[in-house]
Amino acid sequence: MLNEVTVTRYITPLREGGSLPGLVEGDDHGAYVIKFAGAGQGRKTLVAEVVCGELARRLGFRVPRLVTLALDPVLGLGEPEQQVQDLLRGSGGTDLGMDFLSGALGFDPLGFRASPAEAGRIVWFDALVGNVDRSWRNPNLLVHRGDLWLIDHGATMIWHHNWPGADASAARPYDASEHALARFAPDVAGAAAELAPLVTEDLLAEVTAEIPDVWLTGEPGFTDPDALRRAYARPLLARAATVHERVTGIEERP
Ligand SMILES: Nc1ncnc2c1ncn2[C@@H]1O[C@H](COP(=O)(O)OP(=O)(O)OP(=O)(O)O)[C@@H](O)[C@H]1O
Ligand SMILES: [Mg+2]
């Protein structure tokens, strides 16, 4: 289970994010980026963050530690900005938090060199989860103490918006032509050989067990949270073995 932290203070909005994530302080005195259950796509975005973040971590990627944040909507009352106040008041209960990487910079493809191996691992992972949000325009990669960290997995697994069509949707190829790391000759086949065998039913059960029940209840067609957890695992298990053959838009390596 993810650690549970209670929000004690809302510090500031993070201006770069489309969903207006904020910076908060927890009762453990940690600084967290908060993703609100009451924002835009709401709970599904948070589920995607947990599934992809915890899967990536177990595959050896650097991902900020994730926690659940208990938010008392009363914290919104003192916010001068209407949009922020609405978000806080509409997101009482369980939100998502991640360790704030102090001093991290946004990835700049012209100022950072990724090796073909590292680029390949990240492109392969994004293909696995169908991440459409790692383009050179909006890389959602941070450089922290010289290393690349993965953030923002809210726009992945598009199949979870239409479960009856999930298997067909998950069989689709992945277009990496706009990917932030496409220009680094990503060795996707090498990454697949290393990582695909690690994506097992057991690993995915462990990963999906991290999703808080409260974000899984009430999904049409599912009687209980565990049935929905299995639905999240299934397309990922099916994709892992062969998705590298369906990555398009990157230069072939000689
Ligand atoms: N863990 C973190 N540590 C430091 N900075 C972070 C962290 N997470 C996010 N940020 C900063 O906040 C910005 C917004 O975060 P994020 O991309 O997750 O939000 P979003 O609303 O989903 O964004 P998008 O507009 O890409 O959909 C990031 O681009 C980054 O600059
Ligand atoms: Mg982002």
pLDDT for 50-86, tens place per residue?
999 999 999 999 999 999 999 999 998 888 889 899 9
Ranges 43-47, 161-165, 213-217, 250-254: which has the least confidence: 250-254
Residue whose C-alpha is closest to residue 154's, from 134, 183, 175, 173:
134
Q: In this prediction, what percent of the chain has a pLDDT beyond 70?
A: 98
**Per-residue pLDDT for 254 more than 60?**
no
Interior angle at CA 195, CA 131 and CA 44, nearest 5: 30
**Per-residue pLDDT for 145 more than 70?**
yes
Residue 219: its pLDDT value, please? 95
Give mean pLDDT, residues 12-27: 88
Residue 121: its pLDDT value, please? 98
Nearest ligand to the C-alpha atom of residue 35: 1
Residue 226: its pLDDT value, please? 98
At residue 158 the predicted structure's pLDDT band, cuts being 50, 70 and 90, is very high
pLDDT for 110-122, tens place per residue?
889 999 999 999 9
Decide the pairing of beta strands 247-248 and 174-175.
parallel
Residue whose C-alpha is closest to residue 90's, from 19, 15, 33:
19
Give mean pLDDT, residues 84-93: 93
Amino acid letter, residue 235:
P
User: How many angstroms does the Cα of residue 100 sit away from the middle of ligand 1?
Assistant: 10
In angstroms, the CA 143 to CA 114 distance is 11
Inter-residue contact 131 to 52 (CB < 8 Å): yes
In angstroms, the CA 18 to CA 38 distance is 14
Q: Is the CB of 85 under 6 A from ligand 1?
A: no
Residue 252: its pLDDT value, please? 58
In angstroms, the CA 227 to CA 224 distance is 6
Taking CB atoms within 8 Å and a gap of at least 24, the contacts of 145-152 are 147/62, 148/62, 148/107, 148/112, 148/114, 148/118, 148/122, 149/62, 149/63, 149/64, 149/101, 149/104, 150/53, 150/56, 150/61, 150/62, 150/63, 150/122, 150/125, 151/63, 151/64, 151/98, 152/17, 152/49
Q: Which residue has the higher pLDDT, 205 or 42?
A: 205
**Per-residue pLDDT for 17 more than 80?**
no
**Per-residue pLDDT for 5 more than 50?**
yes
Nearest ligand to the C-alpha atom of residue 151: 1
Give mean pLDDT, residues 2-28: 91
Q: Is the CB of 22 under 6 A from ligand 1?
A: no
User: How many angstroms does the Cα of residue 14 sit away from the middle of ligand 1?
Assistant: 7
Residue 41: its pLDDT value, please? 76
Nearest ligand to the C-alpha atom of residue 63: 1
Integer angstrom CA distances of residue 164 from 72, 159, 169, 222: 36, 9, 10, 11
**Per-residue pLDDT for 94 more than 50?**
yes
User: How many angstroms does the Cα of residue 151 sit away from the middle of ligand 1?
Assistant: 7
